[in-house]
Structure 1
Amino acid sequence: MRFKVVLVLLLVVAMLGITFAAKITIGYAARNLFNPYWIAVEKGIKDAAKKYGVDVILYDARNDPATQRNNVEDLIQAKVDVILITSIVTGSRDSGAAADEAVKAGIPVIGVDTSCGSPRVAVTIRTDNVLGGRLAGEYIAKVLNGKGKVIVLEGPAGDTNSALRVGGFMEVIKKYPGIKVLASQPADWSREKGLRVMENLLQAFPDVDAVFAANDEMALGAIEALKAARKLKSTIVVGFDATPDALKSIKRGEMSATIQQHPYEEGYMAVEIALKILKGEPFESKVVMRPWPWGIEHAIEIPATLITSENVDKYLK
């Protein structure tokens, strides 16, 4: 009798077209979760997931590419619905191969802030890095009145985000024949390495007027080196990210400016776009040319903003 009741109920459900959809699960293969920037991305993902009733499985690679590759493989095995990846080295084939495996398994992949190095990625959500670099270049050129000596601190060699920021910066600086770039060296997004690299560069180039660092951590390291050399008061330092430490440094009169990215919004939007992909809904993105074998990627780019002492109070929390 019980079997008949269950069978009747199932028939009624089928006739009414009622479905019991499984809860959506999104996997996030993070670069690291100790840098304030990536913590903000994580918060955006979690807040959006809470709003839309989505589960999140999160893995921290702690800046190790092999660990991140394993993390993506674990998410594939967990059969998540979408995988978000913040590649450790932007555009790397290691993260690209991991993304390829996910797509082959029928799982869409979204790049968050950094490109994964695969044409199969549905879209990458990030700040307009070229625009940010241009804003930094225009600010330094203006403060220097078109004349001076500049040092550039880059991210890891081969990192696309770093290349885009430095490329945008150099695009502007090249318009000013009176500005000379003394050196452009990687400091790997690290405050500690930014300090060491800047110390070495100051030995070779003691006469410097400005520093552009492709992220705030390297800029803060450069500031410590300039302090030790008693050159900070005469040197402009511009970072990139608008982290809480950078904003406080601007308020103290140490860092001159930073370029605001929108990490929280990137994470939040990644969840929203993931849901659109799963529902088959359209979303706007643009095709961007890249120096990779396939040449293009689809991206949603959020505009960058220049923050200086004049407007820093607006962004301090």
Structure 2
Amino acid sequence: MSFIKKFIEQETINRRNLLLASAYGLSGAAALRMFGAGAAHAAVENPTIAWSYRDRTNPYWNYIVYGGEAFVESLGLPKSALVNLINEGSSEKSLADVKALLAKDGNKVALAIDANDAPNCRPVVEAVAAAGAHVSTIWNKTDDLHPWDFGDNYVSHMTWSDEGPAEQTARILFDAMGKKGGVVHLGGIASNNPAVERLNGLKNALKDYPDIQLLDAQPADWDTQKANQIMASFLTRYGDEIKGVHCANDTIAYGVLEALRAEGIEGMPVVSYDGNERAVELVAKGEILATVFTNPYWGGGITAALAYYATIGAFKPSDEPHEHREFYGPTILITPKDALDFKAKYLDTNPTYDWKDFWGPSNGPIQYKS
């Protein structure tokens, strides 16, 4: 029997088994365990490399895509070879876009994705696995979803351990406030893992500052305009009680600073997260006290690389230890004393990375709270 005939027959069996499992009410992960996920997935030549993400108006996602493009160029391909699936903050669009690409290119898809929110990650992964394609995810997934439950199709998940760094920025903020007074927090999308962890980091720091009061915490959905509106409402409601602002990311901080300027307030202590270029410049000037860099350029490139090299059969994900399939990305705290040096090293020019060194800058296996 020819290879092609065998492959077609096995794909038919795989799809039939998934349909049967669905009829019995099994989840995608259970179905793949039941029928042996990845048993007959052959290496693919010239896969479709895709990145699915929120938008390019956010500097963070620009760096993610720049990294993806740099990886594609390392293969001798033009940047345009990277397929951009922009979900505009909609989990429904994220899943629909992925399914449309899978319907077109099937098992040739090598997908890198932030699923937009944690619950959306499972249907994305199940759709990829059912098509025999490969996916690597970042940031958002539920704790009960693991790559090793999907054979080789779910290649890897990378997130960042945000509680510790967010607690560091909170402590810097509280010290600048004189260790007393009211603080407000503006967060990301409520169901996003990083939004949850960054708020938890603030709450952890509060335990050691009895004279600091958390006046309010509201989701700003990672959006500058929404953050501006929320901060304006905080100022109306709490006025002079607010002595500091804890922001879940840099784009939120930009909206906060605009709201403060509109009220003629200068010197209010503010901290943020992400380490975008504009934010780092504001840190250097002392307008933001600290931000945290998660190296999105490396994250964007390596996530695409993992999906691609698994797709072409360069390595077999199921042969890797768990810490190579779920791992933390790197973080760097940036303060005024080191902001300019950091900018020169990481932002003025992008470092050169070996895209086959999948776990070099990573920061250990993901730890789950019991």
Match of 2:113 in 1: 85
**Structure 2 SS opposite 1:125:** strand
Whether contact under 8 Å (1:32, 1:38) holds in the other structure is: yes
Whether contact under 8 Å (2:55, 2:86) holds in the other structure is: yes
Match of 1:144 in 2: 177
1:302 aligns with one of 319, 329, 333: 329
Match of 2:73 in 1: 50
The 3 A distance-change label for structure 1 pair 286 and 96 is same
* Structure 1 residue 114: Cα displacement: 3.3
TM-score by length of 2: 0.71
TM-score by length of 1: 0.82
Match of 1:181 in 2: 214
Whether contact under 8 Å (2:139, 2:193) holds in the other structure is: no
1:65 aligns with one of 51, 74, 91: 91
Whether contact under 8 Å (1:257, 1:308) holds in the other structure is: yes
Match of 1:314 in 2: 341
* Structure 1 residue 50: Cα displacement: 2.1
Whether contact under 8 Å (2:182, 2:212) holds in the other structure is: yes
Match of 2:3 in 1: none
For residues 26 and 263 of structure 1, the distance between their equivalents in structure 2, rounded to whole angstroms, comes to 18
The 3 A distance-change label for structure 1 pair 99 and 204 is same
Q: 1:37-91: CA deviations, max 9, x gaps?
A: 11111111111122145753222222232221121012212123422111222x0
For residues 113 and 93 of structure 2, the distance between their equivalents in structure 1, rounded to whole angstroms, comes to 13
Whether contact under 8 Å (1:123, 1:285) holds in the other structure is: no
For residues 242 and 314 of structure 1, the distance between their equivalents in structure 2, rounded to whole angstroms, comes to 13
1:280 aligns with one of 292, 301, 316: 316
Match of 1:217 in 2: 251
Match of 2:190 in 1: 157
* Structure 1 residue 240: Cα displacement: 0.7
Instruction: From the two aligned structures, give the one with the greater strand fraction.
Output: 1
Match of 2:159 in 1: 126
**Structure 1 SS opposite 2:242:** coil
Aligned residues: 285
2:136 aligns with one of 110, 115, 134: 110
Whether contact under 8 Å (1:131, 1:303) holds in the other structure is: no
Deviates more, 1:66-75 or 1:205-214: 66-75
Match of 1:16 in 2: none
RMSD: 2.4
For residues 48 and 76 of structure 2, the distance between their equivalents in structure 1, rounded to whole angstroms, comes to 9
* Structure 1 residue 138: Cα displacement: 2.4
Match of 1:40 in 2: 63
* Structure 1 residue 182: Cα displacement: 0.7
Match of 1:238 in 2: 271
Q: Percent sequence identity over matched residues?
A: 22
**Structure 2 SS opposite 1:181:** strand
Match of 1:10 in 2: none
Do residues 27 (structure 1) and 54 (structure 2) align? no
> Gapped runs of 5+ residues in structure 1?
1-19, 288-297
**Structure 1 SS opposite 2:284:** helix
For residues 75 and 273 of structure 1, the distance between their equivalents in structure 2, rounded to whole angstroms, comes to 19
For residues 52 and 125 of structure 1, the distance between their equivalents in structure 2, rounded to whole angstroms, comes to 22
Whether contact under 8 Å (1:33, 1:62) holds in the other structure is: no
**Structure 2 SS opposite 1:115:** coil
For residues 285 and 129 of structure 1, the distance between their equivalents in structure 2, rounded to whole angstroms, comes to 21
Deviates more, 1:172-181 or 1:108-117: 108-117
